[in-house]
Amino acid sequence: MRLAFDLHMHSCLSPCGGKDNTPADLAAMCALAGLQVAALTDHNTVGNCAAFCAAARRNGLLGVPGMELTTSEDVHVVCLFPTIEAAEDFGRYVRNRLPPILNDPAFFGPQVLMDDESGVLGEETAFLAGATDIGIYEVHALVASYGGVAFPAHIDRPAFSLLGNLGLWDPAMGFPLAEITPHCPPELLRRPDLEGVPLIANCDAHYLDQIPDAHQYMDLLQATVPEVLEWLRRGCR
CATH number of the domain bearing residue 144 = 3.20.20.140
Q: Please give the full DSSP string across 112-129, using - where no structure is assigned.
A: EEE-TTS-EEEE--B-TT
The residues facing 2 across adjacent strands are 219
How many domains does the chain contain in total? 1
Range of the domain at 76: 2-233
- Does the CA dihedral 172-176-179-185 come out positive or negative? positive
Nearest Cα to Cα of residue 83 among 98, 62, 97 = 62
Per-residue pLDDT, 48: 98
Beta bridge partners of 76: 70
Q: pLDDT tens digits for the chain (237 residues)?
A: 999 999 999 999 999 999 999 999 999 999 999 999 999 999 999 999 999 999 999 999 999 999 999 999 999 999 999 999 999 999 999 999 999 999 999 999 999 999 999 999 999 999 999 999 999 999 999 999 999 999 999 999 999 999 999 999 999 999 999 999 999 999 998 999 999 999 999 999 999 999 999 999 999 999 999 999 999 999 999
Query: How many angstroms separate the CA atoms of 40 and 225, rounded?
Result: 13
Measured distance CA(91)–CA(110) in Å, rounded: 19
The pLDDT value recorded for residue 219 is 96
What are the angstrom distances between the C-alpha of 178 and each of 45, 76, 127, 137, 169? 21, 11, 26, 15, 10
Q: Residue 166's closest CA among 65, 53, 71?
A: 71
What residue ranges in the chain does DSSP mark as E strands? Answer: 2-6, 37-43, 62-70, 76-80, 112-114, 120-123, 149-152, 178-180, 199-201, 217-219
